[in-house]
Chains A and B, each alone.
Chain A
Amino acid sequence: MFAFAVRRLLVSIPVFLLSTLLVFLLVAYGANPLAQLKAKNPPPSQATLDAMAHTLYLDHGLLARYWHWLTQLLFHGDWGPSVQSATDIGHLLRSSLTLTLRLVLLAMVVAVILAIVAGVISAVRQYSKLDYGITLGGFLFLSLPVFWFAILLKQLAINFNNSTGNYFLQTYGSGTPGLTGWSAFTDALGHLILPTVVLAMSSYASWSRFQRASMLDVLGSDYLRLARAKGLRRGRVMIRHGLRTALIPLTTQVALDVAAILGGAVLTETVFGWRGMGTMLINGINSQDTNIILAWLVVSAVIVILFNLVADLLYAVLDPRIRLA
């Protein structure tokens, strides 16, 4: 198992390096960091533009720029200068990432648990009223735009707060500054609930469908019938023999969907006014701040690669054939 883990980790390193190259090319093509400066009125002098280009290392060739950026990042932990000279990208990234990870991880845990429960119930009670209800709900959430659902929930919470006079559910920001101890915790929780629900439901929809399908596959298999035939109890067969196998496809799917969840977090954060990674990305794109966009993309690539690694390891835990191969 340990050798398997190390091997997987080593494979991830070239993947990471290649993805840095890809995102660098994407941003070099997609963003023009001098655009904002050029659009200023009165137009800046050529010397100002040249100085800015020099600060941003733009006066070099594409590959030289990539190499400079990558080595600065890997060996010095330096994300490079921002277009706004006052912004320290590393600092901004740390504060944004803590907020966003809190949201994303919690939402994923909630979504996975809900999806497994709903998917298994749906499959075991196929074609019952419950199954139809869960399936319809899943389809509805699959068709809901994340931002629309977020705005709707926000408005419902505002109405609820106003009518009950209880302001536990917060609808804007990630926390009230200046609180400490227990009150800071409940405050953060109140801010966290609505965005988590929105983000969790957006992935719950497809995962529960997925879990239902893979559980149905397993339920129809011969080895499950054998397990029942040799006298094992139904509950034990479902959990130990059925669910364990049916979790394997979901593991892969969750890891694949991490990128989509990070995208969903951008929308959720925008609606709920969180100053997390999503806000950082939107601001970065709007001001064409190359290094901020790059920082976001690199961090998201690392998260995606890490999740795929974890999925591979979980896969090996669930299916012994894989770690022995």
Chain B
Amino acid sequence: MPELTAAPPAQAPRQGPDREFTVEARSQTRLIARRFVQHRLAVASLVVLVLVVLLAYVGGALWKYGYSDITPDNSVPPSSDHPFGTDNLGYDEFARVLRGTQLSLQIALSVALMATLVGTVWGAVAGYYRGWSDSLMMRVVDLILTIPILAAGALLTKKVQGVGWWALALVIAGLSWPAVSRIVRGQALSLREKEYIEAARALGARDGRIIARHLLPNIAGQIIVVVTILVASAILIESSLSYLGFGVQSPDVSLGSLISGSDTALQGGRWWLFYFPGLFIILICLSVNFIGDGLRDAFDPTQQRVRA
């Protein structure tokens, strides 16, 4: 792992004692931001993602049909009145896709936040203290990881059916944090041996302070990348559960539950019910994955150079 504190190669600070400090301190963030901006695909993905979010929330509020409004048109193909067509009950598919996107994004972001928080604390504590507490904590993680998320998720979301989208998010987060804690622990294990941690300890800093002020900020890059992976995987898990009938329940809709009825619709020629929600899932996941890739390269440029 290269250190984030590496000095910028080209931009040496200008001569003069008064400037040196501020330029050094700022250039770190700017360097990462600049590396990210150079990743054109990641920037384009960021724009796409922002547009999708705006479309879902602003567009969903402005669009003439609500997701639960029944229109007199049944099963009509896409037209200017119904850009994504309607289903056999007369629901406007565009309104439902926007609502589904809102819900899927809400769930995914909540999962990412909760799982990152728990996973980071768990992994940092385990890696920092090592010894028997580390063994115990990581065995718990290993055990949870032996259970397929989809199976446990289906079982638990069946139990909380009808409680609301946040219960679904809680279940998925509860099953996702062990993967985060593994990554954070690995980092913490190597960072705890660094000189600056030793220096902090020698100065009398308490463990909590060392973890919060010295350990975690230096793993931040990794954690941000993990967040993007979590968002993408949470959307896929949520839509899978909803497809199987365990996730978001009618009358509310998610992108997965919209597809779940469209299997037969596709065979009956009503392709718009299948493609539009699916394309939104792919669009969101693809852009989140590209953003994650751009961030990874920005934080850790070691894999970019050709060195063979």
A213 touches B303 (CB 8 A): yes
A158 touches B286 (CB 8 A): no
Complex-state Cα separation, A148 to B271, whole angstroms: 13
> How far in angstroms is the closest Cβ of chain A from B202?
33
Judge if B144 is at the interface, Cβ distance under 8 Å: yes
Chain B positions within 8 Å of A92 at CB level:
none
Residue-wise, chain A 144-167 has the 8 Å CB interface mask toward B (1 for contact) of 111110011001001000000000
Known interface pairs A15-B142, A26-B147; A145-B239 also in contact (CB < 8 Å): yes
B286 touches A143 (CB 8 A): yes
Judge if A270 is at the interface, Cβ distance under 8 Å: yes
A158 touches B282 (CB 8 A): no
Judge if A300 is at the interface, Cβ distance under 8 Å: yes
Judge if A106 is at the interface, Cβ distance under 8 Å: no
> How far in angstroms is the closest Cβ of chain B from A137?
12
Q: A26-B152, A301-B146 are in contact. List 4 more A-B contacts (CB 8 A).
A: A22-B144, A31-B155, A145-B259, A263-B150
A30 touches B156 (CB 8 A): yes
B150 touches A267 (CB 8 A): yes
Chain A positions within 8 Å of B274 at CB level:
148, 151-152
Judge if A142 is at the interface, Cβ distance under 8 Å: yes
Chain B interface residue count, Cβ-Cβ cutoff 8 angstroms: 45
Judge if A115 is at the interface, Cβ distance under 8 Å: no
A259 touches B307 (CB 8 A): no
> How far in angstroms is the closest Cβ of chain A from B60?
21
Judge if A70 is at the interface, Cβ distance under 8 Å: no
Interface residues on A, range: 35 or more
Inter-chain contact total with CB atoms closer than 8 Å = 138
Q: Which of A263, A270, A286, A304 has the most CB of B within 10 A?
A: A263
Complex-state Cα separation, A27 to B151, whole angstroms: 11
Judge if A194 is at the interface, Cβ distance under 8 Å: no
B240 touches A139 (CB 8 A): no
Complex-state Cα separation, A305 to B146, whole angstroms: 7
Chain A residue at minimum C-beta to C-beta distance from B153: A263
Judge if B289 is at the interface, Cβ distance under 8 Å: yes
Chain A positions within 8 Å of B281 at CB level:
143, 145, 148
Judge if B143 is at the interface, Cβ distance under 8 Å: yes
Chain B positions within 8 Å of A282 at CB level:
154, 244
Interface residues of B in 214-234 (CB under 8 A from A): 232
Residue-wise, chain B 180-195 has the 8 Å CB interface mask toward A (1 for contact) of 0000000000000000
Complex-state Cα separation, A4 to B156, whole angstroms: 38
Judge if B69 is at the interface, Cβ distance under 8 Å: no
Interface residues of B in 268-308 (CB under 8 A from A): 274, 278, 281-282, 285-286, 289-290, 293, 303, 305-308
Instruction: Pick from B236, B240, B267, B307: contact of A220, CB below 8 A.
Output: B307
Judge if B149 is at the interface, Cβ distance under 8 Å: yes
Q: Which of B240, B262, B274, B305 has the most CB of A within 10 A?
A: B240
Complex-state Cα separation, A140 to B266, whole angstroms: 22
Interface residues of B in 155-177 (CB under 8 A from A): 155-156, 158-159
Complex-state Cα separation, A225 to B308, whole angstroms: 7
Chain A positions within 8 Å of B293 at CB level:
139
Chain A positions within 8 Å of B122 at CB level:
none
Give the dominant DSSP class at A's interface: helix
Interface residues of A in 253-285 (CB under 8 A from B): 256, 259-260, 262-264, 266-267, 270-271, 281-282, 285
Judge if B243 is at the interface, Cβ distance under 8 Å: yes
B236 touches A145 (CB 8 A): yes
Complex-state Cα separation, A267 to B236, whole angstroms: 12
Chain A positions within 8 Å of B246 at CB level:
285
Judge if B198 is at the interface, Cβ distance under 8 Å: no
Complex-state Cα separation, A23 to B305, whole angstroms: 46
A216 touches B303 (CB 8 A): yes
Provide a sorted-by-A list of 10 A–B residue pairs whose CB atoms are within 8 angstroms. Answer: A30-B158, A143-B282, A144-B285, A147-B259, A151-B259, A219-B308, A263-B148, A263-B150, A266-B148, A285-B158
Judge if B145 is at the interface, Cβ distance under 8 Å: yes
Chain A positions within 8 Å of B207 at CB level:
none
Q: Which of A145, A282, A305 has the most CB of B within 10 A?
A: A145
A148 touches B259 (CB 8 A): yes
Residue-wise, chain A 278-306 has the 8 Å CB interface mask toward B (1 for contact) of 00011001101000010011001100110
Complex-state Cα separation, A220 to B262, whole angstroms: 48
Chain B positions within 8 Å of A297 at CB level:
147, 151-152
Chain A positions within 8 Å of B147 at CB level:
19, 22-23, 26, 259, 297, 300-301
Judge if A224 is at the interface, Cβ distance under 8 Å: yes
Judge if A48 is at the interface, Cβ distance under 8 Å: no
Chain A positions within 8 Å of B20 at CB level:
none
Judge if A9 is at the interface, Cβ distance under 8 Å: no
Known interface pairs A30-B159, A259-B145; A151-B263 also in contact (CB < 8 Å): yes
B306 touches A266 (CB 8 A): no
